[in-house]
Amino acid sequence: MKFYDLHVHSAFSEGKSSLEEIAKTAKLLGFSGICFAEYFESEEKIEELKREIERISKEVGIEIYLGFEARNAKELKLLAKLRREFDVLLARGGSLKLNRAACETPEVDILTHPELDRKDSGFNHVLAKLAHKNNVAIEINFREVLMSSKESRSRILKNMRLNVRLAKKYGAPLICCSGAISHLEMRDPKILASFLTLLGLDLKEAKECLSKVPESILRLSKERRSEKWIMPGVRVVS
């Protein structure tokens, strides 16, 4: 079984470790692939990142993908138009407006930490139905728990459990990512799977959040690059 972490930050964005440090750590921990989530600056920067990722992928011997994380509705709209230029589109959760916009947008792959900096879970049955309809994966972000303590950690875990129940009930895909901004924050996929069982998933479901769901996202990403692909659910049939 292959495991993937589709949400890590390098020094190119808000991270503290280099692309190479994170890639080497991911391989050591047992991941088959990772996705660097960066912030959009320009189309020229996309090409620069692609070249750097290709070089490190060959050197380290691990699958490396390029993702962009939209921080507001304006960025989300722009990145949705450029969707075929990179591998994974993430939307930075927390704002109810952006949480909803992400779940309504078929081009989005992952809604990251919808409960970020909130007292509630940032997610409800309406968004769960939209995420199911548009195949938007709801993220369980391990870093949110790792960097919290006491009452705030208890609240985050409670909200994550609620989001897991909602996603399961309405069929929205669930994905678990480290959200690491340093290679020191990354964790073994088996540890992440064990963590997910604390949130209400059985072991098989937990492993799928780290394997089957990210593999599905990456498979769709490859389809988007095909000349026959028009938009989600629409393609040219010869």
pLDDT tens digits in sequence order for the chain, 238 residues long: 999 999 999 877 677 889 999 999 999 999 999 999 999 888 888 888 899 999 999 999 999 999 999 999 999 999 999 988 999 999 999 999 999 999 999 999 999 999 999 999 999 999 999 999 999 999 999 999 999 998 999 999 999 999 999 999 999 999 999 999 999 999 999 999 999 999 999 999 999 999 999 999 999 988 887 776 666 667 777 6
pLDDT at position 225, please?
Answer: 76
Among the residues of the chain, which ranges form H helices? 19-29, 43-60, 73-81, 96-104, 125-134, 142-146, 150-170, 189-197, 203-208, 212-224
Q: How is residue 24 written in tokens? A: 């080497």
Q: Which of 179, 176, 180 is nearest to 160 (CA)?
A: 176
pLDDT at position 230, please?
Answer: 64
Domain ranges (residues) in the chain: 69-228
- Amino acid 35 reads C
Which CATH architecture best describes the domain 69-228? Alpha-Beta Barrel (3.20)
CA dist., res. 136 & res. 217, Å (int): 9
Q: Which of 127, 120, 4 is nearest to 111 (CA)?
A: 127
Stated pTM of the model: 0.93
Q: How many CA atoms lie within 13 A of 1 on its CB side?
A: 14
Tell me: the pLDDT tens digits for 49-106? 899 999 999 999 999 999 999 999 999 999 999 988 999 999 999 999 999 999 999 9
pLDDT at position 89, please?
Answer: 97
- Amino acid 122 reads G
Strand partners, 196: none
